[in-house]
Structure 1
Amino acid sequence: MKGHRLRHLDAGKKARLYRILFQHGLCNGTALFLPYDQGLEHGPRDFFANPASGNPRYIIDLAVEGAFNGIAIQIGLAEKFYWDYAGEVPLVLKLNGKTEIPSDDAALSPLHASVEDAVRLGADAVGYTMYVGTPAQEQDFAQYRTVREDAQRLGMPLIVWAYPRGSAIEAKGGKSSFYAVDYAARTASELGADVVKVNFPKPDRRTGVRAEYDAEFSSQQAVEAVVRSANRTLVLISGGEKAGDEAMVEKARQSMEAGATGLIFGRNVWQRPHDESLRFVSRLREVLAKYPR
């Protein structure tokens, strides 16, 4: 039955997630998102590889042409550019964000938009970046609670970018270790995320990890464990930094084989020339087509 994974949600959240999963993209319950918050998170350097990508209109056009299930952008870009595309591609409004300039050791991503803004702009979901493992975690969780309560009240799906960060994480295998990614997925699930976005886990990053993770795991075993840890929270696997196409397509295949709902690929897509971007998106869509949900 279509939407059976959404049956635990209230009507507003279910309706919006149903639109994302079954009325856009492949319309088969899988999802492919295009994130475009890197201008804030990393600065304009990310656009050097493809200068056209610095123009938000270029990115949203790409999301429409590539039949993405949604595009994730910050409020300033949503207010200035999304109006022309409203209804053509679902909007995920990012509610918080920070620059890369300060150290990640005590990272906190401050709020600069609200769930009410997302409703006003016609968004189908909101995004929140949560840093798991930093000294600012308590403040982060308290800030997140207000977002979760507003999302629940207004029937807006909440997608959590669950990012392990800080020196404590670096001492336990690093932010991309199986231990860190698995912990982040579980944290987002237990704190009420409807969807969690995580990086693909690297089980070979074992220095300092807990004993249970200091063992031989294949990448397939690791990503399957991460999806299990998220329970009924839908999982999106990030493409991360640009790498070889075959490696990224294989990462996508393993993610979907593990039970993930979909993929969220940003720089891996739009740092390429336009036509090359669409060819790569087509390959990702071929993977998703094999795993209807």
Structure 2
Amino acid sequence: MNAGTRARLDRIGTDGRYLVVPMDHGITLGAVRGLKDIESTIDAVTRGGADCVLTQKGIAPRVHPNKNGKGYVVHLNGSTVIGPDSDDKRLTGTVEEAVRAGADAVSFHINVGSNYEPKQIEGLARVADDADRLGMPVLAMTYARGPGVDEHDAQALGHAVRLGEELGADLIKTAYSGDAESFAHVVESTRLPVVIAGGAPEGDHATLTAVRGAMDAGAAGVSMGRSIFQHDDPEAITSAVSAVIHDDASADDALDRAGLSVEI
């Protein structure tokens, strides 16, 4: 890893742990709750303890004035839920464009096991090469997703995260397998830091229990979108997630610290 990549990787995490809040869902879902006034949401989550936020390149002018000195990641592919197939992520930007947008890192999504896997593998390989030349870290979002694939199967997830390392990523995001014991296999499948996706919101306690389990398995943090930016209090839930990741708090203690009710 070159010096520029290392320096920028430090800007999107804290002491090797990461709380990323992706808000690139405007392409996928549209201007849903939490993203219409994205400026206020970015301000809230970065005040709450997010290490960085993530958007598509066109949102960059709305990010920088509101991120409170935290890191910024530009996502480089996407799809919509109203298109032919949301698994068919297509290129939306380049590493050079991300540099011009003021990014500290780039991210790229692959659905391992889907019909689009071959092209997405080629895409991530090209992004990793371009990023290396420019000293830009790559967050590979490697999901086990496709016909007959269990998106939460630890063996499939282990394969997915290893693919990200093999193609030259610096940080890997994938789904949580559901418990610390099985997720340990996923973490052990790569030497890169692994962060878990948030998925559809299931309640504060369930969210934090998953984060705690992932951290116990050796994960390096989370890349959590809707459970944070669509929360009634984005700053408070970010603070709670941060307490688990950065302060090693339990789920209940994190909720209490953030002033959120403990409901199971």
TM-score normalised by the chain length of structure 2: 0.87
Are the aligned partners of 1:163 and 1:184 in contact in 2 as well (CA < 8 Å)? Answer: yes
Partner of 1:4: none
Residue 107 of structure 2: SS of its match in structure 1?
strand
Relative distance call for 1:34 and 1:224 in structure 2 (3 A) is same
Q: CA deviation at 1:140?
A: 1.5
Are the aligned partners of 1:104 and 1:165 in contact in 2 as well (CA < 8 Å)? Answer: no
Query: Which region of structure 1 is more displaced relative to structure 2, 187-196 or 80-89?
Result: 80-89
Partner of 1:179: 155
Alignment of 1:1-293 (within 5 A): 9-22=1-14, 28-44=15-31, 46-47=32-33, 52-78=34-60, 80-85=61-66, 88-104=69-85, 107-169=87-149, 174-202=150-178, 219-229=179-189, 231-273=190-232, 276-291=233-248
Residue 167 of structure 1: SS of its match in structure 2?
coil
Q: CA deviation at 1:149?
A: 0.8
**Partner Cα separation in structure 1 for residue 103 and residue 69 of structure 2:** 11
Q: CA deviation at 1:236?
A: 0.8
Q: Deviations for 1:59-80, whole angstroms, at most 9, x for unmatched residues?
A: 22123221311101001111x3
5+ residue gaps, structure 1 = 1-8, 23-27, 203-218
Relative distance call for 1:236 and 1:31 in structure 2 (3 A) is same
Are the aligned partners of 1:71 and 1:91 in contact in 2 as well (CA < 8 Å)? Answer: yes
The residue type equivalent to 2:78 in the other structure is G
Bigger Rg, which one? 1
Q: CA deviation at 1:194?
A: 0.7
The residue type equivalent to 2:211 in the other structure is A
TM-score normalised by the chain length of structure 1: 0.79
Q: CA deviation at 1:151?
A: 0.5
Residue 43 of structure 1: SS of its match in structure 2?
coil
Residue 135 of structure 1: SS of its match in structure 2?
coil
Are the aligned partners of 2:211 and 2:241 in contact in 1 as well (CA < 8 Å)? Answer: yes
Residue 118 of structure 1: SS of its match in structure 2?
helix
Residue 118 of structure 2: SS of its match in structure 1?
helix
User: Which structure 1 residue ranges, 4+ long, deviate > 4 Å from structure 2?
Assistant: none
CA RMSD of aligned residues (A): 2.0
Q: Deviations for 1:10-56, whole angstroms, at most 9, x for unmatched residues?
A: 1111111122224xxxxx43211111011212234x42xxxx54222
Instruction: Give % identity.
Output: 33
Q: Deviations for 1:191-243, whole angstroms, at most 9, x for unmatched residues?
A: 221111111114xxxxxxxxxxxxxxxx21111111111x2211111121101
Q: CA deviation at 1:125?
A: 0.6
Q: CA deviation at 1:152?
A: 0.7
Q: CA deviation at 1:87?
A: 6.9
**Partner Cα separation in structure 1 for residue 235 and residue 117 of structure 2:** 38
5+ residue gaps, structure 2 = 250-264
Relative distance call for 1:86 and 1:289 in structure 2 (3 A) is closer
Q: Deviations for 1:152-184, whole angstroms, at most 9, x for unmatched residues?
A: 100100001112222142xxxx22232332221
**Partner Cα separation in structure 2 for residue 284 and residue 196 of structure 1:** 19
Residue 143 of structure 2: SS of its match in structure 1?
strand
Are the aligned partners of 1:59 and 1:270 in contact in 2 as well (CA < 8 Å)? Answer: yes
